Amino acid sequence: MTTHTQWTDSHCPVARTTDIVGDRWSLLIVRDAFDGTRRFSQFQRNLGIAKNILTDRLKGLVEQGILEARSNEKGTRNEYVLTERGMDLFTVIVSLRQWGERHAFIDGEPHSTLIDDTTGDPVPTLRLVNARKIGLDATNTHVRKVEQD
């Protein structure tokens, strides 16, 4: 469900993803949705975002199939719920969180922590591994580019 008509780089998955959710507000809305925020007023209060910007970002996230707008139990207002596509952004949000924990705080500065509900422990650092459990990073991977005519 990609409704963009013009992509920054039509062959690059990273570029397409940032075209869809790469601005600050969209990612923070998705983060808050993972934390249980559902109503427009809750998003606005949590983020301190202008109503027109929030309206625009919510509309875009719904159009992209990341959020679904549902009537609340009274049928008076919409609630915004993550779809399966939206839930697939969890690893992206965790990756951003963990990068921030390592690089956006000085040593000892307090910050929120993502906790594993099963163990009560902080979520371990994400790590890419191949089928042989060998760690992957920028030194042992490469992008296979699409041949352009």
In a domain, 78, yes or no: yes
Distance CA 88, CA 91 (A): 7
Half-sphere exposure for 41 (CA within 13 Å, toward CB)? 1
CATH number for the domain including 72? 1.10.10.10
Q: Is residue 43 part of a domain?
A: yes
| 71 has pLDDT over 80 | yes
Residue-number span of the structural domain to which 44 is assigned = 13-87
Q: Are 11 and 148 in contact (CB under 8 A)?
A: yes
pLDDT surpassing 70 at residue 5: no
The tens digit of pLDDT for each residue in 106-148 reads 999 999 999 999 999 999 999 999 999 999 999 999 999 988 7
- Report the alpha-carbon distance of residue 53 to residue 32 in Å, rounded: 16
**Predicted local confidence at residue 73, as pLDDT:** 81
Q: Does residue 25 sit within a domain?
A: yes
Q: Is 26 exposed, middle or buried (0-12, 13-18, 19+ CB in 10 A)?
A: buried
Per-residue pLDDT band for 149 (boundaries 50, 70, 90) equals low
| Domains held by the chain: number | 1
